[in-house]
Amino acid sequence: MMGRFAGSLIVSVLFLQGATAAPAAAPVSYGVEADTFHPVKEQNGMVASVDALATQVGVDILKQGGNAVDAAVAVGYALAVTHPQAGNLGGGGFMLLRTASGHTTAIDFREMAPTRASRDMFLDAQGNADSKKSLTSHLASGVPGTVAGLALANKEYGTLPLSRLIAPAITLASKGIVVDEALADDLNVYGKEVLIDHPNSKAIFYRPDGNPWKRGETLVQRDLAHSLTLIAKQGPEAFYKGKIADQIASEMAAHGGLIGKADLANYRAIERKPISGTYRGYEVYSMPPPSSGGIHIVQILNILENFDLAKMGFGSADAMQVMAEAEKYAYADRSEYLGDPDFVKVPWQALTSKDYAKSLAQKIDISKARPSSEIKPGKLAPYESNQTTHFSVVDKQGNAVAVTYTLNTYFGSGIVAGSSGILMNNEMDDFSAKPGTPNVYGLVGGEANAVQPYKRPLSSMSPTIIAKGGKTWLVTGSPGGSRIITTVLQMVVNSIDFGMNVAEATNAPRFHHQWLPDQLRVEKGFSPDTLKLLEARGQHVKVMPTMGSTQSIMIGPDGMLYGASDPRAIDDLTAGY
């Protein structure tokens, strides 16, 4: 141990010795003409989402005098129609919101395990985790939370009636949407894998002639329009106790699923206190458990505070090494300590303390990667998948909302409940089916995240808001499964340490280490020289597909809004007025 620590003294872990002033943040950038990437700039309100139609719905609500929460609720409903890959009524997620007066709160509308769920429900006869059960069967769904979550947000923090916020979604579902490139591609590739086996889903999302979708064709969702109309008229009761509840419960009963009417009636969205921390003079707010995102973003930032990233520079082997090593420790802790706080005691104060971070920072050797096996043993990810969605909204008054919600993988379980038109999630896969067995994102977990009735599966979704001097500064979040935490982290570090404007911070190539597998996943775009240096330090570098799809808004000192959608998504849009 001493030897290892002595080794790290060779390198630039100077600030741990307390001899030097703490490394500072870089000057903030809102973009200048000479920059490579430029944010969208608006004065009165802004929405950033993965889908242009949904963004437009949100901007319209803002223009009509709705606040950021109203707009976010309307975008949430619109995406359930325009972005069935992840937008949903049959899934769940998290909202982080910060009012203009600085009140910051989190709404947990994560799915919940039904009462008949049990610890070993996803094991096969041999006792091995069966990912088919947890991903594509009727057992894959937790009790959906989105309708309850959006209703809670509307009731506590909105200004317009819910029915008015659902109206645009009803129009989009009943009149039909023009299928854009992203939707056509995803329906043709991922949709085909998961939707075709279920007659209800096939009838809606699969073309009758079996031909692939082409950009520009129209997708009408009549059943969904009907369900939306019921919710608009009767409120969330329609979903949890009324006709839609009947549809979901009978779909489940007919096919071996576990969600019953009592499960739906018992579901509650929960308002929680956000995880907060500080980073180089900024205030950080993010999602508390059952998301792991807030805790580990703050934990990693606390570790990074001990290093001068600005001096190391973006894309340098030093900065990437320090970040990757910090990430490994955080993900190792995630596997052990994180779960639904209503079931397990999550030691969040310890995990987010500056002292603990300092002790981890001292273990980081900038010249030599610590093999993950020395931190904790684990297995490789079976395969990967990608689909969740994030949107950010800021209004004229300065209220800010960040929402990440999902069905889990593309189109969730692929199962539409009866004739509701509602696609069901496969969020049960986020529980650990068996200790040490990786889920679809390669994440391992143990007891804290074992399946239990009424428990919410551990998430990585991290809607995040950064403030400076008490004023909201950056609103961000991303999909990406286990990679959400590191994607959001890089938005923060790129903006604060590397002085990038929000568009540059979004466009910059990303990397990720999640402890297990012991692999430094990088997007293309980093210098091969840097990657060679990292290999030489013991990192197992692998160039892999892009990660994350951030939707972010930065607020300038004069209240000007600067937004950026992710170039990694095809039809996303940031707009305002």
Q: Which stretch binds ligand DON (CB under 6 A): 35-43, 257-265, 320-328, 478-486?
A: 478-486
Distance CA 463, CA 482 (A): 14
Min CB(389)–ligand DON separation in Å:
8
Contact (CB, 8 A) for 83 and 183: yes
Counting contacts by CB under 6 A, is residue 481 touching ligand DON?
A: yes
Residue 404 pairs in a beta bridge with 94, 390
Q: Which stretch binds ligand DON (CB under 6 A): 142-150, 457-465, 500-508, 515-523?
A: 457-465
Distance CA 249, CA 251 (A): 5
Q: Which of residues 21-60 bind ligand DON (CB under 6 A)?
A: none
Marked catalytic residue, from 99, 388, 464, 550? 388
Distance CA 146, CA 227 (A): 14
Neighbours of 458 (CB within 10 A): 25
Nearer to ligand DON, 272 or 396 (CB): 272
Contact (CB, 8 A) for 425 and 141: yes
Nearer to ligand DON, 463 or 479 (CB): 479
- Checking phi first, is residue 411 left (phi over 0); if not, alpha (psi -120 to 50) or beta? left
Nearer to ligand DON, 78 or 461 (CB): 461
Q: Which stretch binds ligand DON (CB under 6 A): 67-75, 353-361, 454-462, 536-544?
A: 454-462
Q: Which stretch binds ligand DON (CB under 6 A): 24-32, 474-482, 554-562, 567-575?
A: 474-482
Counting contacts by CB under 6 A, is residue 340 touching ligand DON?
A: no
The amino acid sitting at 204 is I
Contacts for 175 with CB less than 8 Å, ≥ 6 apart: 220
Nearer to ligand DON, 92 or 563 (CB): 92
Interface residue with ligand DON, options 107, 140, 148, 461 (CB under 6 A)? 461
Min CB(405)–ligand DON separation in Å:
9
Interface residue with ligand DON, options 467, 484, 505, 573 (CB under 6 A)? 484
Q: Which letter, b or e, does each residue of 465-483 get, where b requires 16 or more Cβ atoms within 10 Å of its Cβ?
A: bbbbeeebbbbbbbbbbbb
Tokens, residue 18: 């307390």
Nearer to ligand DON, 166 or 443 (CB): 443
Cα-to-chain-centroid distance, residue 244? 27
Nearer to ligand DON, 31 or 442 (CB): 442
Q: Which of residues 405-424 bind ligand DON (CB under 6 A)?
A: 406, 408
Min CB(240)–ligand DON separation in Å:
21
Q: Which stretch binds ligand DON (CB under 6 A): 218-226, 311-319, 347-355, 459-467?
A: 459-467
Nearer to ligand DON, 286 or 459 (CB): 459
Q: The tokens 């490994």 sit on which residue?
A: 328
* DSSP run (H or E) holding 219: strand 218-219
Q: The tokens 């009790």 sit on which residue?
A: 143
Contact (CB, 8 A) for 360 and 16: no
Contacts for 325 with CB less than 8 Å, ≥ 6 apart: 363, 364, 365, 369, 370, 513
Q: The tokens 């995880």 sit on which residue?
A: 275
- Binding residues with ligand DON: total (CB under 6 A): 14
388 is catalytic: yes
Q: What is the torsion angle, in degrees rounded to the nearest 10, for the CA atoms of residue 348, residue 352, residue 358 and residue 359?
A: 10
Strand locations in 70-190, DSSP E? Answer: 92-98, 104-109, 177-178
Task: Verify cis geometry, omega within 30 degrees of 0, for the bond prior to 290.
Answer: yes
Contact (CB, 8 A) for 136 and 201: no
Q: Select from 412, 411, 394, 416 the least CA-distant residue to 403.
A: 394
Q: Which stretch binds ligand DON (CB under 6 A): 305-313, 353-361, 480-488, 514-522?
A: 480-488
Counting contacts by CB under 6 A, is residue 90 touching ligand DON?
A: no
Nearer to ligand DON, 56 or 459 (CB): 459
Counting contacts by CB under 6 A, is residue 88 touching ligand DON?
A: no
Counting contacts by CB under 6 A, is residue 460 touching ligand DON?
A: yes
Distance CA 517, CA 537 (A): 17
Min CB(148)–ligand DON separation in Å:
17
Q: Which of residues 355-394 bind ligand DON (CB under 6 A)?
A: 386-388
Nearer to ligand DON, 35 or 384 (CB): 384
Min CB(427)–ligand DON separation in Å:
6
Interface residue with ligand DON, options 414, 480, 563, 576 (CB under 6 A)? 480
The amino acid sitting at 172 is L
The amino acid sitting at 268 is R
Nearer to ligand DON, 83 or 363 (CB): 83
Residue 193 half-sphere exposure toward CB, CA atoms < 13 A: 14
What does the DSSP 8-state code read for residue 371?
A: P
Distance CA 248, CA 268 (A): 17
Interface residue with ligand DON, options 134, 432, 459, 501 (CB under 6 A)? 459
Q: Which stretch binds ligand DON (CB under 6 A): 15-23, 225-233, 238-246, 455-463?
A: 455-463
Min CB(560)–ligand DON separation in Å:
31
Q: Pattern of binders to ligand DON over 430-449, x per CB under 6 A?
A: x-------------------
Q: Which residues are catalytic?
A: 388
Report the interface residues with ligand DON, using CB under 6 A. 386-388, 406, 408, 427, 430, 459-461, 479-481, 484
